[in-house]
A and B are shown apart, each in its own frame.
Chain A
């Protein structure tokens, strides 16, 4: 069975500092990987996705993620965060059964 682990429930970071939000998955088959962002009082929006091809994926708002098959990871990074990046971030995986599994989320707190 597939699972998604987001290692940090909350991540505080100073404005303009870099950030990495960690995501590990377990699956015995090929998967599609996603990061979604949820801004306060809103639904989830797709940030970026990995379906195949280049392992470095660029998304909206300056975020990127790297698919690492050997480490079964899909960590999200941004070189310089802004106060507007305050949100909850969800990693998700879809396997061959087409079922989507979400991680429990990581709250990103931007400190002035």
Chain B
């Protein structure tokens, strides 16, 4: 089954404790992206990757890092989480940039 898998689905952590949210897709898609969803703000893009070893900042990249060492994986790293990063995060992938995106089920993060 074609899918985008995020883990964990729910995470509660404390300020400053590094965390990683994993994202994996099994569709051989070139393009992958991370978004955060906040009430009244819709989806905002954090980082995206056009292909392996190619990543770029989206609209709200501060406080986040990503890597794309393999085509299928695109982890989101919060080196020192802060409460303003409490949000719902989505990973998405598409065949290439500009195509229909397929979304993971989301990761709800709370930073205390």
A interface vs B, CB < 8 Å? Answer: 9, 32, 34, 36, 41-46, 49, 90, 94, 98-100, 102-105
B42 touches A102 (CB 8 A): yes
| Complex interface: chain B residues within 8 A of A90 (CB) | 42-43
- Docked CA distance A36–B43 (Å): 12
Interface membership of B111, Cβ < 8 A? no
List residues of B whose CB falls within 8 A of some A CB: 4, 33, 35, 40-45, 90, 92, 96-98, 100-106
Question: Which residues of A have CB within 8 Å of B33?
Answer: 100
B92 surroundings in chain A (CB, below 8 A): 44
Distance in Å: Cβ of A102 to nearest Cβ of chain B: 4
Give the number of residue pairs across the A-B interface with Cβ within 8 Å: 44
Contacts of B97 on A, CB cut-off 8 Å? 98-99
- 11 residue pairs from A and B, CB less than 8 Å apart: A42-B106, A43-B103, A43-B106, A44-B101, A45-B103, A46-B100, A90-B43, A98-B97, A102-B42, A102-B44, A103-B42
Q: Smallest Cβ distance from A94 to chain B, in angstroms?
A: 5
Cβ of A105: which chain B residues have Cβ within 8 Å of it?
42-43
